[in-house]
Amino acid sequence: MKKKSIWCLVVCFLLFMSSCSLWESKDFFPPPIKFQTEKEIEITVPKDQISPESTYDKGEVPVNRTDTSVIYLKKVIQSADEPEFIILAFDILYQFEGKEQKILLPYKIEGEGDNLSYTNSIYTNNTVIDGDGKIFQDAIHISSQGPNQEFSFVMQTDTLDSMKESITFTVEGFQESIY
């Protein structure tokens, strides 16, 4: 009797885990892409939202928006290895309506069918502009990309301290994908 109960628990656990991975995969594997084109976007983050060790709910701090995609600030992290740097982590929410959609992806999808490859494609010119229009050269750099649509940038805390109101920077290499 105990063996039967244990097997039942194992089977239930495996079914639960497989359904979880299917659920998660829906978040970051869009349907087949019909067309992709590279797009440059601006990200603007209010300075008062950039405090170390902050975490935000999905969509709470939007930094760029299209009809179907909302890029938002997910969290702010003080670098453990180098405390003079702060990491800004972002993610993307999608609103799917209608038959054909345009979404922003931080990676390029190549191939067809089961032979798809995903290539990280975003980059920045490292320039930041504050709310007063002051330009800071070599102030921000890509930190990481992934998992899924997540990406992050690193900037020096002293640059952030000297900025007013907001920070704006350009990110190139997003893929505006039609599916």
Residue 32 has a pLDDT of 67
Residue 139 has a pLDDT of 92
pLDDT at position 20 over 90: no
Determine the Cα–Cα distance for residues 167 and 128; give it in Å rounded to an integer.
6
Residue 89's pLDDT band, with cuts at 50, 70 and 90, is very high
Residue 1 has a pLDDT of 44
- What does the domain layout of the chain look like in residue ranges? 1-30, 31-178
Residues in the chain: 179
pLDDT digits (tens, 9 = 90+) for 140-160: 999 998 888 999 999 999 888
Asked whether 112 and 102 are in contact (CB, 8 A), the reply is no
Minimal CA–CA distance to 129: which of 86, 159, 169, 90?
A: 169
Q: Quote the Cα angle for 28-94-86, to 5°.
A: 75
